[in-house]
Amino acid sequence: MKQISLLGSTGSIGVSTLDVVARNSDKFEICGLAAGRNADQFVEQVKQFKPKVASLFDRSKEAEVRERLAGLDVELIFGEEGPVKVATWTECDLVVSGIVGSAGLVPALSAIEAGKNLALANKETLVVAGELVLKAAQDKNVAIIPIDSEHSAILQAMNGEKKEQVRKIILTASGGPFRTFTREQMEHVTVEQALNHPNWSMGNKITIDSATMMNKGLEYIEAKWLFGLDTRVEVIIHAQSIIHSMIEFVDTSIMAQLGIPDMRVPIAYALSYPDRLDCELPSLDWSQLSRLDFEPPDYEKFPCLKLAMDALDAGQTLPTVLNAANEIAVQAFLDELISFKEIPEIIRMAMQNHKSRPVTHLEDVLEADRWTREEARKLISVAH
């Protein structure tokens, strides 16, 4: 029975992970849960899965939650130390990191340093501190198994293949809700429109990232760290989200991984890796799949993608700045403080204003993150 600690249990990845676990209760058991602010959902999850340790970030709900969970044999923790305790729980075999944003970095790194294998849905962990995270994983002989559908597809396509025979990785992108918009239409994008993703059901932040294509930029950086910085990575728009990513080999053969756009599939693969689970999900209906379409990304219409590529090329603390500025700008857009088109402008200005430096310790990342958040808020305030 594999013991799993789940970080971000009330988010979209967390909920899907618990669904997979519930369907395979003979193989997996939840030993730890960490959630953010959704106390009601957290309480129900603890009651259903009965973990040994559970944490809620929102301290204001402590009295209420303790009362509602009285009598259960569970160690309850509140505040920012909770996810680290859950991630390093002694009995845990695998940590699933589904926390959104850079908040997932410290718990994920703590899990690795505690010798726990990591199923990673939080792409920001590698974006902001890829070198530190991979070194820690190597030192502790820990496996990092990607959950993102694209990186899971790459992992599956590379299974049994020689890395030196890979010519390039081809990351597919849905193009989000604005793929067919003109630049004039992009001037008037609303929050409601940006949250209306055509294929995937995700949390608000990730959905906006998909709309700006920053999500693919972050995945570009993550792919480089996961599969080798010297690996060529190409991004291509594939609106149907059926091919989740591809690999081209030196002989021009291409290996693609296809499937329905449902995150439970890559989650199930990560939980059972290197084996596979029998998932009770619909198969692709080939009779309804008459064509697969592809087109190159428009870097002028979606500048966030190019900003991410530039940040990785520059290296040092710049990917951290990219991510932190994006998180602040996306939230400002959701709060209707800035327009959609201002998201990349805030990120660009923060990157330009930052004095980049090497990343040798975790504090280098955390300090760059703190500086950027303050800088981005200033830029938003000045603009409005």
Work out the number of other CB atoms within 10 angstroms of the CB of residue 141: 8
Instruction: Please tell me the predicted confidence (pLDDT) of residue 259.
Output: 92
Instruction: Please tell me the predicted confidence (pLDDT) of residue 382.
Output: 81
Q: Residue 168: is its pLDDT beyond 70?
A: yes
Q: Is the same domain home to 158 and 234?
A: yes
Domain-located, residue 164: yes
pTM comes to 0.93
CA distance 294 to 173: 9
Residue 220 CB partners (closer than 8 Å, separation 6+): 171, 233, 235, 305, 308, 309, 312
Q: Is the same domain home to 123 and 168?
A: no
Among 103-117, 247-261, 272-286, the minimum mean pLDDT is found in 272-286
Out of 118, 146, 174, a domain closes at 146
CA nearest neighbour of 265 among 155, 118, 174, 169: 155
Extract the tokens encoding 104: 């997932």
Instruction: Please tell me the predicted confidence (pLDDT) of residue 201.
Output: 61
Instruction: Please tell me the predicted confidence (pLDDT) of residue 199.
Output: 64
Instruction: Please tell me the predicted confidence (pLDDT) of residue 103.
Output: 87
> Residues 51, 31: contact at Cβ < 8 Å?
yes
> Residue 296: which pLDDT band, with cuts at 50, 70 and 90?
very high
What does the DSSP assignment read for 136-161?
HHHHTT--EEE-SHHHHHHHHHTTT-
Out of 101, 117, 146, a domain closes at 146
Per-residue pLDDT tens digits for 263-278? 999 999 999 999 999 9
Extract the tokens encoding 179: 């793929």
CA distance 278 to 276: 7
CA distance 172 to 174: 7
Extract the tokens encoding 225: 């760290």
Work out the number of other CB atoms within 10 angstroms of the CB of residue 18: 22
Q: Residue 197: is its pLDDT beyond 80?
A: no
Per-residue pLDDT tens digits for 63-103? 999 999 998 999 999 999 999 999 999 999 999 999 988 88
Instruction: Please tell me the predicted confidence (pLDDT) of residue 19.
Output: 97
Q: Is the same domain home to 332 and 209?
A: yes
CA nearest neighbour of 151 among 58, 249, 225: 225
Structural domain harbouring 211:
151-261+293-383
Q: Is the same domain home to 79 and 173?
A: no
Is beta strand 117-120 parallel, antiparallel or unpaired with respect to 144-146? parallel
Give, for 15, the enclosing helix (H) or strand (E): helix 12-23
Q: Is the same domain home to 162 and 120?
A: no
Q: Is the same domain home to 214 and 340?
A: yes
The number of folded domains in the chain is 2
Report the chain's mean pLDDT, rounded to a whole number.
94
Residue type, 86: V
Domain-located, residue 206: yes
CA distance 110 to 92: 13
Q: Is the same domain home to 43 and 189?
A: no
Angle, helix 318-334 to helix 204-212, in steps of 10 degrees: 110
CATH code (residue 23): 3.40.50.720
Residue type, 171: L
Instruction: Please tell me the predicted confidence (pLDDT) of residue 176.
Output: 86
DSSP 8-state symbol, 240: T
Q: Is the same domain home to 237 and 350?
A: yes
> Residue 359: which pLDDT band, with cuts at 50, 70 and 90?
very high
Instruction: Please tell me the predicted confidence (pLDDT) of residue 186.
Output: 86
> Residues 322, 308: contact at Cβ < 8 Å?
yes
CA distance 110 to 280: 34
Q: What is the total residue count of the chain?
A: 384
Per-residue pLDDT tens digits for 8-41? 999 999 999 999 999 999 999 999 999 999 999 9
Q: Is the same domain home to 134 and 186?
A: no
Q: Residue 202: is its pLDDT beyond 90?
A: no
> Residues 241, 262: contact at Cβ < 8 Å?
no
CA distance 241 to 258: 9
Q: Is the same domain home to 198 and 318?
A: yes
Q: Is the same domain home to 106 and 180?
A: no
> Residues 33, 45: contact at Cβ < 8 Å?
yes
> Residues 196, 177: contact at Cβ < 8 Å?
yes
Q: Is the same domain home to 128 and 173?
A: no
Q: Rg of the chain's alpha carbons, rounded to an integer?
A: 20
CA nearest neighbour of 98 among 68, 127, 122: 122
Long-range contacts of 46-55 (CB under 8 A, 24+ apart): 46/72, 46/74, 47/72, 48/18, 48/22, 49/18, 49/21, 49/22, 50/74, 52/89, 52/91, 53/5, 53/77, 53/85, 53/86, 53/89, 54/86, 55/79, 55/81, 55/82, 55/83, 55/85, 55/86
CA distance 370 to 303: 24
